[in-house]
Structure formats: structure tokens, C-alpha cells
Amino acid sequence: MTQRLLITLGLLAMVTLPSCHPKTEAKVEEKPHYEVTVPLQKDTQVPQKYVAQIHSMRRIELRSLENGYLEKVYVDEGQRVKKGQMMFKLKANVYEAELKKYEAEARAANIEYQNTKNLADNDIVSKTELAVAYAKLEKARAEVALAKTHLGFTDIRAPFNGLMDHLEAREGSLLEEGELLTTLSDTSKMWVYFNVSESEYLNYATRADKKNLKNVSLEMANGELFKYPGVIQTIEGEFDNETGNIEMRATFPNPEGLLRHGETGTVIMNFPYKNALMIPQKATFEILDKKFVFVVDEHHKVSQREIVVAEELPHLYIVKSGLTSKDKVLLEGLRKVRDGQEIEVEYEDPKEVYGHLTEVHAE
């Protein structure tokens, strides 16, 4: 009986033990979930920046036109002067004396001429003597005019409205003819010079809408934008063989006198792009200096595709080739997916994606 009982208990254990283990179900692998969008297509502008040198429209050196002592200085360094304003005066005693001398000689020559004329009218002297007397009078008058000119050179006035630089001479200085007194700059308009490469010059010169490109902006040294726009007016005649660049000149109005001669800045030229295809930079990755994106087809399958970038904007690329406006581009998980993988996608409107990137950039 004992043996039968043990056999029976063994059989029951064999039947009940498998039923104690839960049944295992086959796990279904979930597909990863990522955001996609299509390229944003719209007209845009791409700013090109060039380092620039700022010059005043007119800048001249004021020099002494005569020898003598600098008697009076009427202006100061950095002062704005108006056309015709007295700036310097040389000691004029010698030139005043010379003028009085020549004026006296001119009066004597005039008296001699009048006497000779009376005699010639009465046929007492010949017409030749009258002509000689008249020539002496004309010479004396010319010497008076020359003396007045020399005397006028002792008063040095501003030839135009402008801004003074350093004073190179002080009151009481003995000046030689041609000695520098100061520099005067006309800052009502500023000439801004910048260099562009040969390819950039050709892009500018061959565009049908290059008239629109003549309007440029100026970023000052502190990073702020000068509030008055400028216009490209001249292009230099030849390229620099050493740098391969050519110089352009833009003119900017400067009514408030903020810009000064010798400043530096950055000229900004905006190149328009019609129907540009733009994608976020974060949607791209590089392999051996080439840029790629992941495109998702209608079956949610990922495929790697090379693109060519035309221009770079803040957080965006303008795509030259490799994409169409209908291609769905993967926005995230670029390091997690592989070519040919199937994924679940959530579509994001490109305007919202672009707007979000702009807000992030502004912050």
C-alpha cells in the first residue's frame, strides 16, 4: 500500500508542476517614434558681411600759405566748423606794410599816367610815352592786387563745413610756407570701403536684380546697426593680384555726425533668394565633409540622402539640391535610426518648426 501511495503522489506531482508556471507570450517590438517635417519654401534674403574702412567724403590738410608767426587760433581740436569761419591768423604787419607801399606806388603811377595823357592830348608827347605810362600804372595795380592776396593768406578760413582734427601748431609758432596746421574732414557723408572676392563680385555684377543689391547696411564696431542705409556707388577698376579681391565703395549719409574718419565697421549686403528650400541645421549630419539628412517615405521607412547647401542662415540651411518641397525630413533621433529602418512619425508644420527656431535664436 505504501508503495502504491508513493507512485500515485509522484504522478500527481508530475501533472500539477507544469500548471504552476505562467504562460509566456511573445513580445511585439515597438517602432521608435520621431518628428518629421518638410522643407520650408519661401523667399528670403541671405546677408553677406564684409569688413569695411570708413572715410570722410572730403578730408584735406590746412597749411600755412605764407611764412610768419601764428598770431591767433580761433578753433579747437574736434570742433565742428562752418564754411568761411575764421580758423587761424598769421601776424600780418609785414603784409599790411607791403600793401600800403604798393598802393602808394599805384597812386603815383596813376598821377604820372594822367599827366602824360594830358600832354598826349595836346600833342606834346607821343602816344608811345602814354602807353608806357599806362603800362606802369597797370603794373602798380597788379602789385597792389598781389599784396592784397598775400595779406589774405594770413587769414585762414574753413573751405567747407567740417570736423577738425589735431592742432599741429600753437599760437606764437613760427610757421614756414606749407607747414601743416590741422586736418579738416567733411563728415556729412561717409565713404565706406570694403573688399569682395572675385566670385562674389561676379555674383553681384551678373545678377539681373543687382540694382536692389546696391542698398547696403553698416554694422558699427559695437555691433549695433547704423540707422541710415547706404548705397554702393563705385567699384574699383582692377583686382588686387595679391589678395584676389576688388574694392567697392558705399556712401552713407551721416547727418548726426556719429561716424568719424578712420572708423571700422561691417558692410552687410543682402542677397535675395526666390522660393528657397530651407531645413533646420539640426536635421543634418556630416560624413567626410558632406551633409546628409534622413528622409522618411510613405511606408515610414528611413533612407539616408546627401544634400548640397547653398547658403547658411541662423539655425537653417538653404538647400541647393538633394531635396524637394515634399520630402519628409527627420528632425530628431539622427544617431538612433539606421538606413532602411521603419519608424512611427509625427508630422510638424514647417512654419511652426521655423518659428520655434527663430524664437530660440532671439532668446
pLDDT at 230: 94
Burial of residue 237 (number of CB atoms within 10 Å: 0-12, 13-18, 19+): exposed
pLDDT at 363: 40
User: How many residues comprise the chain?
Assistant: 363
Nearest to 166 by CA among 182, 190, 178: 182
pTM above 0.75, yes or no: no
Please say whether the beta carbons of 200 and 245 come within 8 A: no
pLDDT-based confidence at 97, cuts 50/70/90?
A: confident
pLDDT-based confidence at 362, cuts 50/70/90?
A: very low
pLDDT at 290: 93
**Least confident span in 19-28, 94-103, 144-153, 254-263:** 19-28
pLDDT at 2: 53
Tell me the C-alpha distance between 204 and 196, whole Å: 10
Q: Output phi, psi for 110, to 5 deg.
A: -70, -40
Mean pLDDT, residues 154-166 taken together: 92
Nearest to 347 by CA among 32, 40, 34, 42: 34
**Least confident span in 23-37, 157-171, 172-186, 214-228:** 23-37
- Report the share of the chain in percent with pLDDT over 90: 52
* Amino acid letter for position 277: L
pLDDT at 356: 75
**pLDDT averaged over every residue in the chain:** 86
Coil vs helix vs strand at 363: coil
Q: Region of 8 please: left (phi>0), alpha (psi -120 to 50) or beta.
A: alpha
pLDDT at 361: 43
Q: What is the DSSP letter of 32?
A: P
- For residue range 323-353, list pLDDT tens digits in order: 999 999 999 888 899 989 999 989 988 888 8
pLDDT at 358: 60
Q: Answer yes or no: is pLDDT of 6 > 60.
A: no
pLDDT at 7: 53
**Least confident span in 34-38, 66-70, 358-362:** 358-362
Nearest to 30 by CA among 333, 344, 297, 294: 344
Q: Output phi, psi for 57, to 5 deg.
A: -65, -40
Concatenated DSSP letters for 82-147?
Answer: -TT-EEEEE--HHHHHHHHHHHHHHHHHHHHHHHHHHHHHTTSS-HHHHHHHHHHHHHHHHHHHHH
Tell me the C-alpha distance between 81 and 70, whole Å: 19
Mean pLDDT, residues 11-40 taken together: 64
Burial of residue 123 (number of CB atoms within 10 Å: 0-12, 13-18, 19+): exposed
Q: Answer yes or no: is pLDDT of 17 > 60.
A: no
Residues linked to residue 69 through DSSP beta bridges, in sequence order: 174
pLDDT at 3: 54
- Report the share of the chain in percent with pLDDT over 70: 89
- For residue range 119-139, list pLDDT tens digits in order: 888 888 888 888 998 999 999
Q: Answer yes or no: is pLDDT of 184 > 90.
A: yes
- For residue range 251-286, list pLDDT tens digits in order: 999 999 999 999 999 999 988 888 889 999 999 999
pLDDT at 10: 57
